[in-house]
Homo-oligomer: A and B are copies of this chain.
Amino acid sequence: MNILEKITQNKASFSKSERKVADVILANPQTAIHSSIATLAKMSDVSEPTVNRFCRRLDTKGFPDFKLHLAQSLANGTPYVNRHVDENDGPEDYTNKIFESTMASLEVARQSVDVQVVNRVVDLLTQAQKISFFGLGASASVAHDALNKFFRFNVPVVYFEDILMQRMSCMNCSTGDVVVLISHTGRTKSLVEIAQIARMNDATVVGITSADSPLSHECTYVLSLEVPEDTDMYMPMASRIAQLTLIDVLATGFTLRRGNKFRENLKRVKDTLRGSRYEKRNE
């Protein structure tokens, strides 16, 4: 496992001094791999053997071995880690941290996706009479994005931001209709109600939400994404990105299922936009 993640995870189990070391390393891992144990000890305001003990606690043979592991974690291609933004971060720091955390979350999300369910949902979508995408707050823009994607497929697709419109739309559902509900927490009351209404009217309800949430219990199929959210920011960030990527997956599955002639159709849709754009000079 990635040693940076391991440090973050085990941070709680560290002693006070070890945590000082952990903080210094996490704050600037690049510097850490190029420092000697003495330098790192001084930076952490800790004695050298403490740094050594810290390394051993992470199941490495010693400091040099630890640096090797750290270097591997930092090498590109290795999964990214959720590093939290710090008050004193400059633009470079927080930019990189946000990008890296997003990538790390996507990796976690990827591993938590149940491809069986993806497959069944794609099946469902390709056979749907009508597809609705609903979300509220931060998930509204995800639903909005799904509309944009599925609209190109020439399928009857519906999206509303307004709760009442969402409810009315679900009241008019019937067999063969698919309602996709998007919510990170799965605890938004009105969305849970909408799930109930849709099911009462024989629609199939797909939830893109967290497992074992009130919303998930009302859904026919649940596509759950276990994405760690940085709660310090009080804003949903990574969860939306994961949801969007899942929408991309569904859209891709949809086009694959429909086959080649359908791809042609997509190309035509795209070409239609040409009139609204400035031509690219050399293509």
Q: Mark A29-68, 1 if CB is under 8 A from B, else 0.
A: 0000110000000000000000000000000000011011
Copies assembled:
2
Q: A99-B245, A252-B98 are in contact. Are A141 and B144 (CB under 8 A)?
A: yes
Q: A91-B253, A142-B141 are in contact. Are A245 and B74 (CB under 8 A)?
A: no
Partner of A94, one of B77, B80, B252: B252
Cβ B102 vs Cβ A106 within 8 A? yes
Q: Please, which residues of chain B bring their CB within 8 A of the CB of A9?
A: none
Interface size class of A (residues with CB under 8 A): 35 or more
- A157 contacts chain B at the CB level, 8 A cutoff: no
- A5 contacts chain B at the CB level, 8 A cutoff: no
Cβ A106 vs Cβ B95 within 8 A? no
Query: How far does the alpha carbon of A192 sit from the alpha carbon of B237 in the complex, in Å?
Result: 29
Q: A77-B80, A103-B106, A266-B234 are in contact. Are A145 and B240 (CB under 8 A)?
A: yes
- Chain A: residues with CB nearer than 8 A to chain B? 33-34, 64-65, 67-69, 71-80, 85, 87, 89-92, 94-96, 98-100, 102-103, 106-107, 109-110, 113, 115-116, 118-119, 122, 137-138, 140-142, 144-145, 148-149, 152, 185, 187-190, 192, 214, 232-235, 237, 240-241, 244-245, 248-249, 251-253, 255-256, 260, 263, 266-267, 269-270, 273, 276-280
